[in-house]
Amino acid sequence: MSARGGAGIIVAVLLGLLFSCSEKQAEKGSRVPPEMNVLHQEEKHSKEEHAAEEEMIFLDRESLQRAGIEVEEAMRRPLKQEPQLSGAIQANEDRLAHVGSRIPGRVVDVAAGLGDRVEKGSRLVLIDSPELGQAQSSYLTAKAKRLVSEKGYERARTLVEQKVIGTGELQRREGEYLSARAEFEAAESRLRLLGMTKEEVFSLGTENAARSEAPILAPLSGTIIERHATVGELVEPVKTLFTIADLSLLWGIADVPERDLAQMKKGAAAAVSVSAYPEERFKGKVSYLADTIDPATRTLKVRIEIENPRGKLKPQMFATFRILTEEAEPALALPASAVQREGAQSIVFVERETTEKGSRFEKRPVSLGAEVQGFYPALSGLQPGERVVTKGAFVLKSEADKEGMEEGHAH
pLDDT score of 77: 86
Whether residue 88 sits in one domain with residue 70:
no
Neighbour count for residue 312 (Cβ, 10 Å): 13
pLDDT score of 51: 45
Indicate the residue among 324, 345, 366 that finishes a domain.
Answer: 324
**40 within some domain:** no
Whether residue 381 sits in one domain with residue 313:
no
**Residue numbers of the domain that contains 256:** 84-93+247-324
Whether residue 301 sits in one domain with residue 343:
no
CATH number of the structural domain spanning residue 303? 2.40.30.170
| CA separation for the pair 242, 48 (Å, rounded) | 81
Nearest to 284 by CA among 316, 251, 260, 245: 251
Q: Is the pLDDT of residue 407 over 60?
A: no
Q: Is the pLDDT of residue 364 over 60?
A: yes
**4 within some domain:** no
Tens digit of each residue's pLDDT (9 = 90 or more) over 263-290? 888 999 999 999 999 989 999 999 999 9
Q: Is the pLDDT of residue 11 over 90?
A: no
Which residues are CB-neighbours of 58 under 8 A, at least 6 positions away? 358, 359, 360, 361
Whether residue 349 sits in one domain with residue 317:
no
Contact by Cβ (8 Å): 286, 306: no
Whether residue 298 sits in one domain with residue 335:
no
pLDDT score of 316: 94
Whether residue 189 sits in one domain with residue 134:
yes
Whether residue 359 sits in one domain with residue 307:
no
Compute the mean pLDDT over every residue in the chain, rounded to the nearest whole number: 83
Tens digit of each residue's pLDDT (9 = 90 or more) over 157-177? 888 888 888 888 888 888 988
Whether residue 172 sits in one domain with residue 146:
yes
Q: Is the pLDDT of residue 87 over 90?
A: yes
**118 within some domain:** no
What is the number of domains present in the chain?
Answer: 3
Contact by Cβ (8 Å): 176, 153: yes
Nearest to 381 by CA among 84, 55, 150, 139: 55
| CA separation for the pair 223, 114 (Å, rounded) | 8
Among 17-21, 72-76, 149-153, the range scoring the smallest mean pLDDT is 17-21
Whether residue 313 sits in one domain with residue 262:
yes
Tens digit of each residue's pLDDT (9 = 90 or more) over 88-114? 999 999 999 999 998 899 999 999 999
Phi, psi torsion values for 39, nearest 5 degrees = -65, -35
CATH number of the structural domain spanning residue 189? 1.10.287
For 407, counting Cβ atoms within 10 Å of its Cβ (0-12 exposed, 13-18 middle, 19+ buried), the class is exposed
pLDDT score of 405: 58
Indicate the residue among 278, 305, 324 that finishes a domain.
Answer: 324
Mean pLDDT, rounded, for 75-97: 89
Q: Is the pLDDT of residue 42 over 70?
A: no
Q: Is the pLDDT of residue 56 over 70?
A: yes
pLDDT score of 106: 94
Whether residue 309 sits in one domain with residue 336:
no
| CA separation for the pair 389, 100 (Å, rounded) | 67
**402 within some domain:** yes
Q: Per-residue confidence at 367, pLDDT binned at 50, 70, 90?
A: very high
**175 within some domain:** yes
**8 within some domain:** no
Residue type, 224: I
Whether residue 314 sits in one domain with residue 338:
no
Tens digit of each residue's pLDDT (9 = 90 or more) over 191-203? 888 888 888 888 8
